[in-house]
Amino acid sequence: MEFEDFKEFLNTANYNKKNNKSGIDNILNFIDWCNNNNYEELLIRLNSEKQGGIGYNSIIDFTNKRIIITRKKIINRIFDTGFVAGLGPFPYMILSEKKQQSKIKDSAKLQIEKILRDPNLECTITYNDILRTIIKKGFNSLVHNMFGSFISKYYLTIFTTNNKYEYILPMKKNGNFDKMSYWMKSILPIQISFAD
């Protein structure tokens, strides 16, 4: 999506703000607007690790149309440069009070078409193929230190008609479980179960 296209949506979002529409409502309106105008945009990105360091690690991108799984490049496995996890750039901008044009232009460089052409692309899963999605806190990954205890990993399982996909989500790269689960259940077009 080009900046001018996004600006067109922002004009609508600004009108909705005046009518006391919430941030979630504006993101859901953005998703509808993308679907109606045939745009595919990144909503949420998660970071998965089967092994730390240079082991097998991947990026899980949730768009308004599907889930895209891409294996991380070696440099990203070691240094994690760039956008690691969280809300996609455009949804983040919708919530942000300061919508700087230069930042939105930079965000627009994250093109889904480019991700789909990446040689490290593993698979895509359309939302219609998903039977069930479960995210749970990894209480078996509880870490204790002088500041207290915290869970270091979450687990994501996606069941489709033909496959089961399992991913380990490190807390240090995906952030707070409650925030992550809030956005996932609020804006993704799938039912998600959360388990302890």
- Cβ neighbourhood burial of 93 (10 Å; 0-12, 13-18, 19+): buried
Q: What is the pLDDT of residue 77?
A: 56
> Could you tell me if 62 and 76 are in contact, meaning their C-beta atoms sit under 8 angstroms apart?
no
Task: Report residue 21: phi and psi, to 5°.
Answer: -75, 140
Looking at residue 103, what is its pLDDT?
Answer: 59
Does the CA dihedral 120-31-81-51 come out positive or negative? negative
- Could you tell me how many helices (H) and strands (E) the chain has, helices first? 8, 11
Length of the chain: 196
Amino acid at 4: E
pLDDT value at position 22? 77
DSSP, residue by residue, 81-95: -S--SEE-HHHHHHH
Take residue 111 and report the two structure tokens written for it: 């093109």
Output the pTM of the full model. Answer: 0.84
Per-residue pLDDT tens for 26-61?
899 999 999 999 999 999 999 988 755 556 789 999
Helices 23-36 + 177-187 axis angle, to 10: 50
Q: What is the mean pLDDT of each run of 10 residues along the chain (196 residues)?
A: 80 62 86 94 90 73 96 64 71 74 57 91 96 84 55 88 92 85 92 84
Residues in a beta bridge with 62:
44, 67
At 143 the pLDDT is: 55
